[in-house]
A and B are shown apart, each in its own frame.
Chain A
Amino acid sequence: MADEQNHEQNKAEPKNIEIRVRRQDGPGSEASWEEFSLPWKAQHNVISLLMAIQAAPVNAAGQPTRPVVWDCNCLEEVCGACTMIVNGRVRQACTALADELEQPIQLEPMSKFPVLRDLSVDRSRMFEKLKEVHAWVQLDGSHDLGPGPRQSAANQEQTYAFSRCMTCGCCLEACPQYNDDSDFMGASALGQVFLFNLNPIGAVQSEERLETIMGLGGLSDCGNAQNCVAACPKDIPLTKAIASLGRDVTVKSLRDLLGR
């Protein structure tokens, strides 16, 4: 028993966890780094570290400071709200385990979205794109339409991966084509076009959806860096969707040209 305790202590080596947070008081205000030092505790993740800072907002120099602002919701990597840059790489903070991270743990807000405060960003640009590309199944009334068409198992398998998209923004943060100099809508919206075009009811509007991604900032602005698929925390085959939509718009533009 005593041995075991000793062992635990040796392994644990109670020390501090060093954290650097990129802080910004509001949209447009200047950003600066602030260091924090928290006592080591088993199974800390980035969210629980931020909660500890919130409970006692004192920086590494011992000065009281403003608690760090961040977004989070589900805490199990399915909502995307806590997406931020941890040690230079975009990911969800809730599944970023402190013991697996190099210290100081560096936390930054995503760079491709406007910062609201500290680590909290405004991702509404992504949701606007979902509206633009018609990322839903349209029904034309509330009356009973009877059972919908059956989906084949193969179709379900292909679309399931895309239904897991949580609009977190990792694919856009990692994309070299998604920036202030470009109108590119990014992989997430394209993945949803792929998903809803494969849905038996959604397929009715597939031509309209293809039309929306043939515009400025659409599919053709993709530069094939394929960072999206590498950065996606849900392993969504985004590049497959992009190439498949590429085939669809190739066929559509030829059909439009020759059918006119």
Chain B
Amino acid sequence: MAMTADRKHFLLRRLHSLSGLAPIGGFLLFHFYENGKVLQGPEVWTESAEAIAAIPLPLLLSVEVFVLYIPILFHGLYGLYIVRTAKPNFSSYPYMHNYFYTLQRLSGVLAFLFIGFHVGSTRLRYYFTGAHADFEYMQQTMANPLLLGVYMLGVVASVFHFANGVWGFSVTWGVTVGPRAQRVLHAACMAVFAGMSLLGVNILLAFKG
């Protein structure tokens, strides 16, 4: 049974699933931890941001490219292909997980667009203009109601996609097999979604000042 071409499909799917958890999900948690420092005051945040900016450029850039940009591009583009094969039908079959199935795809597309905008307006802006996304810049961004809205939607969509994705990951890889285990994990993931959304919105409002 020669199935090398097919095995590639399987491995791509599993790589898609894994990349969402690590490195992307892992970075999301780190990103929340880093930016959460703004809740302790702008100075604490600035100090931490400057410590990261002090990392030698070749190291920082290669981490960004290989740990973040490439995995996110792969996860996002392959995700768009997966979205294309979906035919949502929650109006005929209004079951809880069917809504989550559609929300997972919707939040994924929103998150991908948001991350593109976010990276473009912070990191790429720095690489092209040399201007750091410092506290003042973030404060100006959040002072714009439209951009604040975009950030809130983007953060909530990303956090939902991550939390619900952890559940999907554990089903796909066979970590939670039985319905009870899946139910308990789903409740836990939704608690993480609620908690991280609340934290995320608070961080955005803290930048606004």
Contacts and interface: CB of A to CB of B under 8 A. Distances in A.
18 contacts: A176-B88, A176-B98, A177-B86, A177-B87, A181-B85, A182-B85, A215-B9, A220-B14, A223-B86, A225-B101, A226-B97, A230-B95, A240-B177, A243-B177, A244-B177, A247-B173, A247-B175, A250-B174
A246 B173 contact: yes
Interface of B: 1, 3, 5-7, 9-11, 13-14, 82, 84-89, 92-93, 95, 97-98, 100-102, 167-168, 171-179, 182
Name which of A208, A215, A223 has the most chain B CB atoms within 10 A of its CB.
A223
Given A176-B102, A177-B85, 20 more contacts: A174-B93, A176-B86, A176-B89, A176-B101, A179-B85, A211-B3, A212-B3, A216-B5, A216-B9, A219-B10, A224-B171, A226-B101, A227-B97, A229-B179, A230-B98, A239-B179, A240-B177, A244-B177, A246-B171, A247-B173
B13 A226 contact: no
A105 B82 CA distance: 36
Interface string A222-260: 111111011100000101101111111110010000000
Given A220-B10, A224-B168, A244 B3 contact: no
A29 B164 CA distance: 42
Interface of A: 88-89, 174, 176-177, 179, 181-182, 184, 208, 211-212, 214-216, 218-227, 229-231, 237, 239-240, 242-250, 253
Contacts of B175: 247
A214 B168 contact: no
B179 A245 contact: no
Nearest to A248: B174
A106 to B, nearest CB: 12
A220 B16 CA distance: 11
Interface of B is mostly: helix
Contacts of A89: 92-93
B1 A212 contact: yes
Given A224-B171, A243-B176, A214 B10 contact: yes
Contacts of B98: 176, 225-227, 230
A227 B93 CA distance: 7
Contacts, number: 115
A246 B13 CA distance: 12
Nearest to B84: A181
A242 B5 CA distance: 22
Given A211-B3, A247-B173, A225 B9 contact: no
Main SS of the interface on chain A? helix
Contact of A211 (B1, B93, B102, B171): B1
Nearest to B168: A224
Nearest to B92: A88
A218 B173 contact: no
Contacts of A227: 89, 93, 95, 97-98
A240 B178 contact: yes
A230 B85 contact: no
Contacts of B171: 224, 239, 242-243, 246
Contact of A214 (B3, B167, B174): B3
Contacts of A181: 84-85, 87
A224 B101 contact: yes
Contacts of B172: 220, 222, 224, 243, 246
Contacts of B93: 89, 174, 227, 230-231
B1 to A, nearest CB: 5
Contacts of B13: 220-221
A184 B13 CA distance: 13
Q: Please give me the 6 A-B residue pairs with the lowest Cβ-Cβ distance, nearest first.
A: A247-B174, A215-B6, A225-B101, A220-B13, A246-B174, A226-B97
Contacts of B3: 211-212, 214-215
A179 B89 CA distance: 11
A70 B174 CA distance: 40
A153 to B, nearest CB: 19
B183 to A, nearest CB: 11
